[in-house]
């Protein structure tokens, strides 16, 4: 009996210990599988020799390098954030098509060779100016009636303003500059070196609902491509051939709730003051289709990922560049 009792006691101890050992082994496996932080070291990002294959699921320095070079080539990835998303893939495909490369949506060796023909550093130092931090900065209300009561719809913070300047998400700027306040003139930060040269004039603009892009053409040559938000099930993109009537910079938005299927019933017609956080951003490119235009947005991170009320939305910087490329009478083709 004593021998049997001892055997049972030992067996009970072993069985009780087994789950703990199993959990320990599982936790070690999980720890091994945890990915290491992706480096955004400036020397690595600026070195074309270190650029890896960039494809779906990628993030970090390689994607950041590709995003900046695509931006400078006028194949906009939208808001630069160091992560591979749908807008990055669209930009890669457009760039590849324009350069006679198979449109795989992957930055492979052949595509890197074309992108790296632009040899300037993709990250550089920038000294924040008095203008960058002058403001006034204030929170932007969501309600249209509250927006109508403000004198202007400027940036909410200096960091948001710098994000627009560098076509970059504030989150990425913060990651590139740990400890920075983004609030003092003279403070140096690390930022993407995005496009700055004046764009060429173009002969035609095409809005394509199938891939959510706006492209600019000089004859048969694709000059630029931008990710876009192009309508919704309630307000689908109106297909057809139209013309650009003209461009309005820093426009006042004439809000008419009757034209918005999701408008608050208590809302009335109102004039929404200008500014980068105006509902149509910093520019309105008027189309000959009544009530329709190509315009900017106060929320660049949402481009290509949400719906619109029928108009065509771009990031503020892409809309401003496209506005400089067109003239009254430029054809605008809207297609599915």
- Report residue 234's pLDDT band, with 50, 70 and 90 as the boundaries: low
Do 277 and 180 belong together in one domain? no
Dist CA 34 CA 286 (whole Å): 50
Assess if residue 162 is contained within a domain: yes
| Alpha-carbon separation of residue 275 from 93, 280, 298 (angstroms) | 33, 9, 9
Do 233 and 111 belong together in one domain? no
| pLDDT on residue 291 | 84
pLDDT tens by residue, 158-198:
999 999 999 999 999 999 999 999 999 999 999 999 998 99
- Counting every residue written for the chain, the total comes to 336
- Report residue 216's pLDDT band, with 50, 70 and 90 as the boundaries: very high
| pLDDT on residue 245 | 98
Percent of the chain scoring above 70 in pLDDT: 85
Do 218 and 309 belong together in one domain? yes
Dist CA 71 CA 132 (whole Å): 22
pLDDT tens by residue, 287-303:
999 889 999 999 999 99
Do 177 and 244 belong together in one domain? no
Of 147, 176, 197, the domain-final residue: 197
Do 85 and 116 belong together in one domain? yes
Do 227 and 328 belong together in one domain? yes
Assess if residue 10 is contained within a domain: no
Assess if residue 88 is contained within a domain: yes
Question: Residue 191 sits in a domain of what CATH number?
Answer: 1.10.101.10
133-142: long-range contacts, CB 8 A cutoff, minimum separation 24: 133/158, 133/182, 133/183, 133/184, 133/185, 137/161, 140/277, 140/298
**Contact predicate 132/161, CB 8 Å:** yes
The yes-or-no verdict on residue 134 having pLDDT over 70 is yes
Dist CA 292 CA 289 (whole Å): 6
Of 139, 166, 197, the domain-final residue: 197
- Report residue 232's pLDDT band, with 50, 70 and 90 as the boundaries: low
- Return the higher-pLDDT residue of 237 and 8: 237
Do 146 and 258 belong together in one domain? no
Do 191 and 209 belong together in one domain? no
**Contact predicate 147/299, CB 8 Å:** no
Question: Residue 300 sits in a domain of what CATH number?
Answer: 2.40.440.10
DSSP-assigned letter for residue 251: P
- What stretches of the chain show up as alpha helix (H) in DSSP? 2-33, 42-45, 61-72, 86-98, 109-115, 130-134, 144-148, 158-165, 170-176, 316-325
**Domain boundaries, position 279:** 204-335
The yes-or-no verdict on residue 15 having pLDDT over 50 is no
Assess if residue 21 is contained within a domain: no
The structural domain count of the chain equals: 2
């Amino acid at each position: 009996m004593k021998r049997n009792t001892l055997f049972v006691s030992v067996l009970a101890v072993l069985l009780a210990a087994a789950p703990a050992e199993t959990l320990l082994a599982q936790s070690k496996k999980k720890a091994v599988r945890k990915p290491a932080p992706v480096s955004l070291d400036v020397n690595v990002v600026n070195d074309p020799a270190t650029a890896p294959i960039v494809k779906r699921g990628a993030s970090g320095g390689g994607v950041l390098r590709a995003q900046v070079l695509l931006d400078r080539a006028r194949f906009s990835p939208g808001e630069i954030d160091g992560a591979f998303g749908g807008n990055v893939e669209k930009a890669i495909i457009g760039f590849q098509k324009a350069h006679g490369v198979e449109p795989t949506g992957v930055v492979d060796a052949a595509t890197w060779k074309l992108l790296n023909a632009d040899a300037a550093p993709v990250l550089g130092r920038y000294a924040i100016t008095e203008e960058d931090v002058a403001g006034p900065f204030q929170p932007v209300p969501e309600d249209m009636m509250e927006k109508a009561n403000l004198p202007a719809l400027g940036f909410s913070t200096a960091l948001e303003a710098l994000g627009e300047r560098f076509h970059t998400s504030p989150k990425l700027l913060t990651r590139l500059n740990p400890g920075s306040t983004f609030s003092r003139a003279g403070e140096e930060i690390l930022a993407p070196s995005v496009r700055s040269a004046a764009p060429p004039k173009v002969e035609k603009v095409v809005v394509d609902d199938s891939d959510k892009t706006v492209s600019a053409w000089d004859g048969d040559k694709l000059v630029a491509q931008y990710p876009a938000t192009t309508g919704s099930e309630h307000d689908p993109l109106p297909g057809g051939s139209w013309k650009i009537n003209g461009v309005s910079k820093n426009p006042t938005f004439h809000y008419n709730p009757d034209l918005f299927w999701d408008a608050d019933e208590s809302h009335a017609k109102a004039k929404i003051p200008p500014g980068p956080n105006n509902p149509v951003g910093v520019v309105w490119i008027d189309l000959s289709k009544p009530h329709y235009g190509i315009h900017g947005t106060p929320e660049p991170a949402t481009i290509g990922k949400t719906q619109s009320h029928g108009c065509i939305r771009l990031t503020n910087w892409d809309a401003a560049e496209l506005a400089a490329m067109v003239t009254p009478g430029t054809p605008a083709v809207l297609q599915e």
